[in-house]
Amino acid sequence: MSKKIMLPLLCASLLGLLACGDEKSSHESNPVVPPTSADNPIITSSAIDPNLVPASSASNPNNNTPTPTPVPSGSYAKLASLANPDVANLLYDVWKGAHVTTLEADAGRYPSLAGDFADVFKQDYLPASRVVWSAQTSGGYKAQCGVSDATETNMKARACTVSEGIGYGMLLSFFAGDDATFYSLWNYNRAFRDYNSSVLMPWIVESFTYNVVDGSSATDADLDVATALILMYYKTGLAPYLQDAQAIVNAIWNEEVEQSTKLLLSGNTSMWNGKSGKEIIYNLSYFSPVALRLFAMIDPSHDWNGVLDAMYAYMAKVQAGGTGVFPDWSNAAGVAAEAPNGSSKTTYYMFNKESVRIPWRIAWDYYWFQDTRAATVLNGLYGFISPKSGDDPTNLALGTSYSWNLSLGADKTSNVVGGYWLGAWCATGLSGATSWLDACTVELNTKKPSNTTTSYFADILLVMYSQLLNGKFVKPF
């Protein structure tokens, strides 16, 4: 196959699917119906490595429609009295306008890459869009992901995409009711999986081309993509969403669950599973209790409730062993430890850029299922921040990256409280700190995405926390 095609032909082939450079608005999109698995397989059997996924899971998924575990009607934890879904809708639209881009837009943005787009994004995977990763001014990824002839100098001069962003984007678009964006992000995810003959997406790739910067999976992204597909299946009843979810869930079990302990690994390569000889290090911000509950609904052949129990027990051990917050990374003993990829030398022991996601995942579980273990985690975090902030959500104490153990390193203070940090601390009030939750949600609803060259992570988490705390996380079952 030729690696080069003419850009005009690329855009012409997309006519009728999505106009070049055009993006549909959210909250008004009609349900998107994916093609049948017979006409357009989610992943063809020839694209699956039989050593990774048993044929019964991917090439011949379980066709029985799963029945969700009964949940009492209207069974939600109480949100803030002034929770406002319209605020979350507005934030989503602002975020999407800055951070989501289409294949057609990238074809004009990266002329040197555009000729290769059709190699990965065949007709089966169109329309396609991605969530743009933040620009970086230094480090290895600057060289690997930079594009010399990029036509923009802002964030979109950066031509890399991380699977985490696709997973977040699928969840955000699902809860925003933006089916068109959901579908196009899903196409991005499955096109790279198909091209690379893998059921799990490589964690970092370059724009819409075939260049994989790092082929390891990222467990949190895989959990989120599968969760979004299951939710969309229950919303629409369309089998392709379920079939793809089943394939991913089976691969997660085989590649990202430590079978002896039932703990979630952080990826599927030897760096993360201990086969390289390095100590296994865990990331509790990858633990999504809701994902594991949904996996148990559609995959009774594996012990997902056992994974849920093991992860909650491990989380309690880590929280009890320190100051009350969580470190970014921890080892089997529940002690803060550096990640084996060298990404956390100065942050591993702090409640920082990884663990700031923990309140969202745990509060989501409490909001939907009222698990007492989730309440214990949230109450512990609220009990930590309450005296430090004087129960004032505008206090700069909410911007500090707190140490899990002060003997490992000091707290890192800040003179600003980012919206996503505020959202994290607000979410700790969901399990009973009503006054805190009310005041904090009001403050959260004044925040806006920054939309800067480095705000990918901050903006996407702000919208996620806003959707959860403003009532957009509606169960489809």
Catalytic residues: 164, 220
E strands, 287-407, in order = 330-331
Q: Which residues pair with 336 in a beta bridge?
A: 330
How far is CA 118 from its chain centroid?
26
Q: Which of 341, 379, 377 is nearest to 358 (CA)?
A: 377
DSSP of 179-226: HHHHHHHHHHHHHHHHHTT-SS--SEEETTSS-EEE----HHHHHHHH
User: From CA 427, how far away is CA 430, in angstroms rounded?
Assistant: 6
Q: Which residues contact 50 (CB under 8 A, 6 or more apart)?
A: none
Q: Quick one: which H or E segment has residue 380? A: helix 372-389
User: From CA 401, how far away is CA 411, in angstroms rounded?
Assistant: 6
User: From CA 213, how far away is CA 133, in angstroms rounded?
Assistant: 13
DSSP of 95-143: HHHHHEEEHHHHHHH-HHHHTTHHHHS-GGG-S-EEEPPPP-SSSHHHH
Q: Which of 248, 276, 402, 375 is nearest to 316 (CA)?
A: 375
Tokens of 65: 């429609």
Residue 266 near residue 281, CB atoms below 8 Å? yes
Measured in degrees and rounded to the nearest 5, phi and psi for residue 370 equal 50, 45
Q: What is the amino acid identity at position 467? A: Q
Q: Which residues pair with 158 in a beta bridge?
A: 146
User: From CA 453, how far away is CA 81, in angstroms rounded?
Assistant: 35
User: From CA 256, how far away is CA 276, in angstroms rounded?
Assistant: 15
Q: Is the peptide bond before 127 cis (omega within 30 degrees of 0)?
A: yes
Q: Quick one: which H or E segment has residue 258? A: strand 257-258
User: From CA 221, how far away is CA 205, in angstroms rounded?
Assistant: 13
Tokens of 167: 């997973």
